[in-house]
Chain A
Amino acid sequence: MPYNAILEVKDLSLATKHDQKLVNRVSFALGRGETLGLVGESGSGKSLTLRAILGLLPRGVEKAGGIIKSDAVSAMVFQDPRGSLDPLCPVVKQLTEVVRFRQQVSKKAARGIALELLEMLGLPDSIKIADRYPSQLSGGQCQRVVIAIALACKPGILLCDEPTTALDVTVQKQIIEKISALQKELGFAMVFVTHNLAVAAATCSKLCVMKNGEIVEQGDTLDVLQNPQNPYTQMLMDSVLPVPELEGSGRIWN
């Protein structure tokens, strides 16, 4: 280990039961409090890699080789906020349940902690008082609840699987700012899967660019984005639609 890594993935390969390679010899390491971005197109194996870290591979996909070493608790934030909450259970109850199980506290104490977490994520009081169901919340509110649930595990590593893809852009910005602020406050490390380079640039200190199940380029975010070595990285960057006013100013990424 080059430095005090909290998570180390080495030569990770994933394949279907019929030996079709999905992820091929992926390696990266993550230090305490660091954020690593996994970027790439759909089907490049980013989400699968993330799920493998959590041991949550879909049926029919198996680990074909490599090691995942981690000595921290990890929790995941999923892409579809509404889909990752039980539709028939009030959100506060779901959060309380996780607090109770993960922190081994009484029901009453768990509710207190749950409400604090919601407060931390800036959710309005109405959610805490009335027992709201996921269908009664907006996508952004649901995602805040999901993040609160993940934080209830006191994670050392927060795994984010495109946490803002299903949200509209303004909410997207708020959620990312919230996650970054919480990271500064609580000091967890993050693996951030996204296909949005702007989001990756804003949140991640290191980047891994994935294509067809392989990492084609990795390094510090600024290095990768300012001086892409791989043509695929260049292509990804070219595919970002520039905001007209900023075009030509050369300051999109800084």
Chain B
Amino acid sequence: MKQMRIDPRLNAYGNRTSMIGRIWSTPTLLVGTLMFAVIVLLAVFIPFISPYQPSEQNLSAFLQPPSAEHWLGTDQLGRDLFTRLIYAARTDLKIMVLAEIIPFCTGLFLGMVAGYYGKWIDTVISLLTDTFIAFPFYLIVIIVAFASGAGERGIYITFTLVGWIVFARVTRGLTASFRQQEWVASAQTLGLPGIRIILRHILPNVMPQAIVVLMTDMVGLLVAIVTLGYLGIGIAPPTPDWGTMISDGQSFITTAWWLSAVPGMAVVYTGIALSLVGDGLADLWRKK
């Protein structure tokens, strides 16, 4: 009979014991983090990597194919595509992260309150989320973005208004299920105030799931930012942004296809990175 090998890194439940060991055994998380780190590091250090400015025009060298001088070629105004691509990552990733902060917090809070207290509070909050869900996402985004004015500010306002819904729905469900568990009932009978139970005990318990949702939601948000840019109601030129880059390159799609393809691929790359991080974190927390 084959002898069973016992891995000393596993505990009695067959799980990795140390945090680092667990992270190492989650390849999706590692790969995702690595991919995301690459683009973040590039975005941070681009002034030292590239000799060009993102808006620096060189009309004598426009629409050039990739070369040693211009790694990804140049666009119709002779601007270096690689430089613009990474500066655009700066803009888009910054907005992506900042625009998620408020919706994440409000969504989590409202979801927990709805799930915990139930009754009319739950009815009101659920009614609100269901109403928003009934509309196509991009319809709301475009309407609000138009109403609040194009540009960065418009994006923040838009996502503050609509972004919380997904978090509220997820946390509401989770909280309602915790509500049925005895430790919440027991905390109530022990006389702890509701708000304290929510913030001190329910919040840490919904956090893992919420962060996984945050990662997937960021991908959606990034695509939305790029879409708005592409439609011309997002970030205004000359600030580099993947969406405007795709739409600018569109006229040259037959001669210089990479002008649109490269920023498109950058969106896909970031999306995959964040999805992998989300999946990896979900795996990691499931192993616990």
Q: Which residues of A contact B (CB under 8 A)?
A: 54-56, 59, 75-76, 78-80, 83-89, 97-98, 101-102, 146, 149-150, 152-153
Contacts and interface: CB of A to CB of B under 8 A. Distances in A.
B189 interface: yes
Contact of A98 (B181, B182, B192, B204): B192
A98 B190 contact: yes
B118 interface: yes
Interface in B188-228: 188-193, 200-201, 204-205
Contact of B192 (A87, A101, A146): A101
Contact of A86 (B183, B188, B191, B193): B183
A75 B190 contact: yes
A83 B183 contact: yes
Contacts of B189: 54-56, 75-76
A82 to B, nearest CB: 9
A88 B205 contact: yes
Given A89-B201, A89-B204, A78 B190 contact: no
B254 interface: no
Nearest to A150: B190
Given A78-B182, A83-B181, A101 B191 contact: yes
A149 B182 contact: no
A86 B183 CA distance: 6
A187 to B, nearest CB: 21
Given A85-B186, A97-B200, 10 more contacts: A56-B185, A56-B189, A76-B186, A80-B182, A84-B183, A88-B205, A98-B190, A101-B190, A101-B192, A102-B190
Centre residue among A55, A79, A85, A86 by max chain B CB count within 10 A: A86
A51 to B, nearest CB: 9
B200 A89 contact: yes
Given A87-B205, A88-B205, A89-B201, A97 B183 contact: no
A152 B204 CA distance: 24
Given A86-B205, A88-B204, A153 B191 contact: yes
B187 interface: yes
Binding site secondary structure of chain B: helix
A54 B187 CA distance: 13
The bracket for how many chain B residues form the interface is 10 to 19
B205 to A, nearest CB: 5
A113 B190 CA distance: 16
Closest A-B pairs by Cβ, 3 of them: A84-B182, A88-B204, A84-B186
Given A84-B182, A85-B183, A102 B191 contact: yes
A89 B199 CA distance: 12
Given A59-B118, A83-B183, A87-B205, A97 B188 contact: no
Contacts of A152: 190
A56 B190 contact: no
A87 B207 CA distance: 13
A102 B196 CA distance: 14
23 contacts: A55-B189, A56-B189, A59-B118, A75-B189, A75-B190, A76-B189, A78-B185, A79-B182, A83-B183, A84-B182, A84-B183, A84-B185, A85-B183, A88-B205, A89-B200, A89-B204, A97-B200, A98-B190, A98-B191, A101-B190, A101-B191, A101-B192, A146-B186
Given A83-B183, A87-B183, A149 B190 contact: yes
Contacts of B183: 83-87
A88 B209 CA distance: 14
A80 B192 CA distance: 20
Nearest to A89: B201
B187 A86 contact: yes
Contacts of B182: 78-80, 83-84
Contacts of B186: 76, 78, 84-85, 146, 149
Contacts of A88: 201, 204-205
A102 B193 CA distance: 11
A89 B201 CA distance: 7
A9 to B, nearest CB: 17
